[in-house]
Structure 1
Amino acid sequence: MSIGLARKLVAEGLGTALLLAVVVGSGIMGERLAAGNTAIALLSNALATGAALVVLIWIFGPISGAHFNPAVTLVAVSRRDLSLRTALAYVAVQIGGAALGVWIAHAMFGEPILQISTKARDGGAQAFSEVVATFGLIATILGTVRFRPDSTPMAVGLYITAAYWFTASTSFANPAVTLARSLSDTFAGIAPASAPAFILAQFVGALLAAGVFGWLLQTERTA
């Protein structure tokens, strides 16, 4: 079945919007219900995000590939799975959809729609965490797509749930998510001044993973 670019772009934008509605909305809900217990709030945020990713990749994967992430799209271009022109369109709708998802979450919880985060996430440890988080995400995708493609949605959801907890940055691992979360002064937010280091680290992690796993997963040629 041939799927036109317009439908792919709608799938990417809608999927990313729903992802951010979950990320920000579950953060707000978790913080409100946790009565000051940050660990419980983070657990709620992580479980909701991981579960939603599984479902969203199941839904939109057959249409657009369910990237929802400019770093994933960059890797697809590097592997020649996607043209540069299509990739740029993907990134545009991912960023726009992510911002829309944040505003949807704000509306659902009676928060001001337009916000700027004041939550600083600075320092080399945080940036390095994003390199590791994104490296692991791309490794998960490339490995499962190669050997167990049907397990990719579940694997991605499980990895992100775990990465919320084993990285100091709580694993944004997504430039569009990072930009959108700078528009929310809630539990999931990130101050705009902190975002560039996260985004650079995410692209570094993605490219490192693409290089390493491009080599690990290559098909051996027999003489």
Structure 2
Amino acid sequence: MTSSLPRRLLAEFLGTGLLVAVVVGSGIAAQRLSPDDVGLQLLENSLATTFGLAALILMFGPVSGAHFNPVVSIADWFLGRRSGKGLPVPDLGAYVVAQVAGGVAGAVLANAMFEVDQAISTKDRLGGGHLLSEVVATAGLVALIFALVRSNRGALAAPTVGIYIGAAYWFTSSTSFANPAVTVGRIFSDTFAGIAPASAPAFIAMQVVGMAVAILVVLALYPDAGEKADDVVVPHSS
């Protein structure tokens, strides 16, 4: 059965929103539970994100594919456009709007659940290592998704993508945002997981660069990857 566009947009809005709520909410909880141990805070935050992301992909994937990420949606459109697969341009624009709106709503929800002030983040993340990390983290994420789909292992996306993001919290100095919608959402929480507005544009720019790198890698390894674009991130009706 084909999912209508409104249903898919609702899934992308809710999925992205809940993802940001997981990231921000677990960051707040970690900061409160382990106030004197930043390493333990990061461990708690990364584990919650790993399991939360996997669960959300399983929940919403059958409806929208569980992109939850503008760079994933853009790569899906770009790689599938020649074969008539993947997201058409109008759907792509709608997906991105739903994802960004969901990201902001998720941060507001997390703030409300933990009764912290609804405030813009003051956490500066503009280091050169942070920006390089966003290229690496985003490239790895997008390449992983398309490799799984192209090799007919999309059913493994939920645990695999969750595990990758959890690992990337640790092997990147930026803690792996790897998602423009999540980046925008995290502006709206002045907490452990927040990012200052001045840092966000550079993060997003590097995420786009990472997406471009991933597309080149995918095309080199799997020249016909676009044929499977309808199954990104997981098989669904669209």
What is the identity, as a one-letter code, of the residue corresponding to 2:28? I
- CA deviation vs aligned residue, 1:101-152 (integer Å, no higher than 9, x gap): 111101110112x211110001221101000000010111011112211111
What does residue 101 of structure 1 align with? 106
- CA deviation vs aligned residue, 1:52-77 (integer Å, no higher than 9, x gap): 11111111111101010011011011
- CA positional deviation for 1:174: 0.2
- CA positional deviation for 1:194: 0.5
What does residue 125 of structure 2 align with? 121
What does residue 136 of structure 1 align with? 140
What does residue 228 of structure 2 align with? none
Is 1:91 the equivalent of 2:96?
Answer: yes
- Taking only the aligned residue pairs, the percentage that are identical comes to 53
3-state DSSP class of the match of 1:95? helix
- CA positional deviation for 1:218: 2.3
Is 1:210 the equivalent of 2:212?
Answer: no
Give the TM-score taking structure 1 as reference length: 0.96
What does residue 41 of structure 2 align with? 41
CA distance in 2, matches of 1:150, 1:15: 18
User: 5 Å matches for 1:146-185?
Assistant: 146-147=150-151, 148-185=153-190
CA RMSD of aligned residues (A): 1.1
Is 1:65 the equivalent of 2:69?
Answer: no
3-state DSSP class of the match of 2:90? helix
Which has the higher relative contact order, 1 or 2, with Cα contacts under 8 A spaced 6 or more apart?
2
What is the identity, as a one-letter code, of the residue corresponding to 2:170? W
- CA positional deviation for 1:215: 2.1
3-state DSSP class of the match of 1:212? helix
Q: Which of 196, 202, 222 is equivalent to 2:201?
A: 196
- CA deviation vs aligned residue, 1:187-220 (integer Å, no higher than 9, x gap): 0001100111100000110111012112201259
CA distance in 2, matches of 1:77, 1:146: 15
CA distance in 1, matches of 2:68, 2:165: 14
CA distance in 2, matches of 1:73, 1:136: 15
Query: 4+ runs of 1 displaced by more than 6 Å?
Result: none
For this pair of structures, how many residues does the alignment match? 219
What is the identity, as a one-letter code, of the residue corresponding to 1:25? G
Query: Structure 1: which 5+ residue stretches go unaligned?
Result: none
What is the identity, as a one-letter code, of the residue corresponding to 1:159? Y
CA distance in 1, matches of 2:91, 2:35: 45
What is the identity, as a one-letter code, of the residue corresponding to 2:130? Q
CA distance in 2, matches of 1:35, 1:190: 19
CA distance in 1, matches of 2:17, 2:34: 25
Give the TM-score taking structure 2 as reference length: 0.90
Query: Structure 2: which 5+ residue stretches go unaligned?
Result: 81-85, 226-238
Q: Is the 8 A contact 1:144 1:155 kept in 2?
A: no
